[in-house]
Amino acid sequence: MTSAQATPPEALRNAVIRLAGYSQDGIQSIGAFLAQLAGSTAQDVMTHMTIPSTISGGPSIYQVHLGSGKVLHPGDEADTLVAFYQDSYDNHLKSLRDGGICFYDSDKVEELKMERDIIHIGVPFTSAAIEAIGGSAKDRGKNIFVLGVLCSVYKLDREKLAEIIGRKFRGKPEDILRNAMLAFDAGFAWPVHDIDHMPFAPGENEEANRLSTDGNTMLGLGLIAGGCRFGAGYPITPWTSIMEMLRSELPKYGGMFIQAEDELAAVSIAIGAAYSGHLAITGSSGPGLSLKSEAIGYACMAEIPLIVVNVQRGGPSTGLPTSVEQSDLMQAIYGSHGDAPRVVLAPRDVEDCFHTAIEACRIAREYSTPVIILSDQAIATRIEAFPEPDLEKYWKEPTLDLSERGADFKPYPLDKITRHAPPGSPTSEAKYPVVTGLEHDEWGHPSSNPLNHEAMSGKRREKLIKLANSLPSPDFFGDEQGDLLFVGWGSTYGPIKEATEQLRAAGHKVGSLHLRHIHPLRNGLGDIFHRFTHVLIPEMNDPGIYGNGQLATLLRSVTCNPNIQSLNKIQCITFRVKEIVDGALKTLSL
């Protein structure tokens, strides 16, 4: 243990804590407890985790970025590292900033002698937790012990944290909660003499009723609020937790979610429910979206309202199932045979998962079209805190329209958006429609008439152009014109916004635009791009043979603006703020 005198006594505004251990050690729960505490004490939080794709666990980290103000990213480097094993210590010490603190399990880790300015504090997590709980505890409880240590070091709200732990173990056998509290109290009381304790500044996010949860949960709840009641899926990481949640939740709302035998059946069951007049959802991750693409093409052709969630992961093929990537954009927009226009939306953070889901439901309903929601592993699994959505504003009660259709009813009118008559609806002339994937005329009869095919392709295209014309301006932040414009989509929102702030503080004229509607794009983006010397698109995918990432390729083709370039990262991990700042500075120096 070094005897450095550490850390100024004034209150902290931000802290990045990295917990490095094995996934079976419950480091995720420490992170989740801290995140929930932040949410309920007006602090902000963003977490980041890596998960081994093995069954029995393996090396894993959970990083928590706590802040008194707004937290936009999980943190470039750690202020505090908690290392449970020698390899956790060896591999993650480099993530600690100079002057940072490393807590390590002195039962398992041998401290390295090094030049760097790091405060080492050895605490016997394993044996201290066993001692606190008693004989048979083995490895259990050391995560809660560590939580106690962190609570004391950062002077966190002990009462509230104890309450959150209590809530987590509610309904479990009594001794589990008792042991957890014994471990927590022992950690809290552990003497950490070598550093001054670092009180956290009070939180400034005073909105009432702040929630803290992950993106998959908010996406699923957004679908419920938006009126989705039926769906089907097949398990695949990292989509699975949405289907698990909907399977248990939907029956409460009068709906159901079916576990299908494969991805093809899942999308087909959802289309069956949608044809029957319900708003239905299916979802998956990368490879599963590929398997569904034939049926998605059908939904475009037959004009079926359908929500398809794709929680992106590293690809191609099985790729990196537990890592983040944004490499399914082209698949989402174009992934089908034939000309099959559909809508693609992307949420930017956990809170936005809820709102994007509601927007997807609205569009699917109003335009009778499939809508793909492109989330990603980072948003899906990370926890953030945000104000509770106002359901008076966003709740949409589902409807099933089985009214009688008149003599003029046509399933595919050329001059209107399709409104299907679900089975069960009588028709005044007793003539019933067939919904079909064959090219068809206005009444749904198969037709190979060349002019009809052109007209019907136009019908399917024009409704999305109508949607594009109605879209609001995308989120704009920073300078309205100047040196460089960032354009982003999905989970890069936070780091891009923070990078924009840093570059502006350094005197650059920088703006940033974050797109929720990826396809169709809102009109007029080209005019905004022209106000900047450079347009830089940070995206987590490969620049490909022609040197541009997937969104950059799309935007270059749409706007013909040669100043659009992408900043690509394909390392299974979200952008650090510094990487975006450095990329921008490099572009600015061109």
In 124-219 the beta strands, taken as DSSP E runs, fall at 210-214
Least distance between other proteins and beta carbon 428 (Å): 11
**Contact pick of 249, 366, 439, 501 for other proteins (by CB under 8 A):** 249
Contact between 1 and other proteins per CB under 8 A: no
504 contact partners, CB below 8 Å, separation of at least 6:
478, 479, 510
**Contact pick of 238, 433, 494, 538 for other proteins (by CB under 8 A):** 433
Least distance between other proteins and beta carbon 223 (Å): 11
Q: How many residues does the chain have?
A: 590
**Contact pick of 58, 99, 134, 251 for other proteins (by CB under 8 A):** 251
Least distance between other proteins and beta carbon 582 (Å): 37
**Contact pick of 437, 526, 543, 544 for other proteins (by CB under 8 A):** 437
Least distance between other proteins and beta carbon 391 (Å): 5
Touching other proteins, residues 139-198 (CB under 8 A): none
**Can you tell me the distance from the alpha carbon of 11 to that of 461, in angstroms, rounded to the nearest whole number?**
57
Would you call 47 helix, strand, or coil by DSSP? strand
Would you call 512 helix, strand, or coil by DSSP? strand
Contact between 436 and other proteins per CB under 8 A: yes
Closest by CA position to 101, among listed 202, 18, 215:
18
Least distance between other proteins and beta carbon 357 (Å): 12
Q: Residue 402 or residue 570: which is nearer to other proteins going by CB?
A: 402
**Can you tell me the distance from the alpha carbon of 405 to that of 418, in angstroms, rounded to the nearest whole number?**
13
Least distance between other proteins and beta carbon 263 (Å): 10
In this chain, which stretch among 205-213, 345-353, 455-463, 491-499 interacts with other proteins, using CB under 8 A?
205-213
Q: Which long-range contacts (CB under 8 A, 24 or more apart) does 555-564 make?
A: 555/487, 555/521, 555/525, 555/529, 558/521, 558/525, 558/526, 559/525, 559/526, 559/529, 560/526, 561/526, 561/529, 561/530, 561/535, 563/529, 563/532, 563/533, 563/534, 563/535, 564/487, 564/529, 564/535, 564/537
Touching other proteins, residues 22-51 (CB under 8 A): 39-40
**Which letter, b or e, does each residue of 2-40 get, where b requires 16 or more Cβ atoms within 10 Å of its Cβ?**
eeeebbeeeebebbbbbbbbbbebbbbbbbbbbbbbbbb
**Contact pick of 434, 465, 506, 585 for other proteins (by CB under 8 A):** 434
**Contact pick of 57, 58, 316, 446 for other proteins (by CB under 8 A):** 446
Q: Residue 425 or residue 587: which is nearer to other proteins going by CB?
A: 425
Q: Residue 113 or residue 393: which is nearer to other proteins going by CB?
A: 393
Closest by CA position to 552, among listed 566, 570, 567, 535:
566
Touching other proteins, residues 255-314 (CB under 8 A): 255-256, 258, 260-262, 264-266, 268-278, 280, 294-295, 298, 302
* CB-neighbour burial class of residue 480 (10 A; exposed 0-12, middle 13-18, buried 19+): exposed
Touching other proteins, residues 389-428 (CB under 8 A): 389, 391, 395, 397, 421-427
Phi then psi for 498, rounded to 5 degrees? Answer: -65, -40
Residue 60 tokens read as 């894993």
Contact between 505 and other proteins per CB under 8 A: no
How many residues touch other proteins under the rule CB under 8 A: the total is 66
Measured in Å, how far apart are the chain's first and last C-alpha atoms? 48
Q: Residue 273 or residue 580: which is nearer to other proteins going by CB?
A: 273
In this chain, which stretch among 44-52, 53-61, 219-227, 365-373 interacts with other proteins, using CB under 8 A?
219-227
Give the x-and-dash track for 355-394 against other proteins (CB under 8 A).
---------------------------------xx-x---
In 242-300 the beta strands, taken as DSSP E runs, fall at 256-259, 280-284
Residue 75 tokens read as 């943190």
Bond prior to 426 in cis (omega within 30° of 0): no
**Residues lying near other proteins in the complex (CB under 8 A):** 39-40, 209-213, 217, 221, 224-225, 230, 232, 249, 251-256, 258, 260-262, 264-266, 268-278, 280, 294-295, 298, 302, 388-389, 391, 395, 397, 421-427, 430-438, 445-446
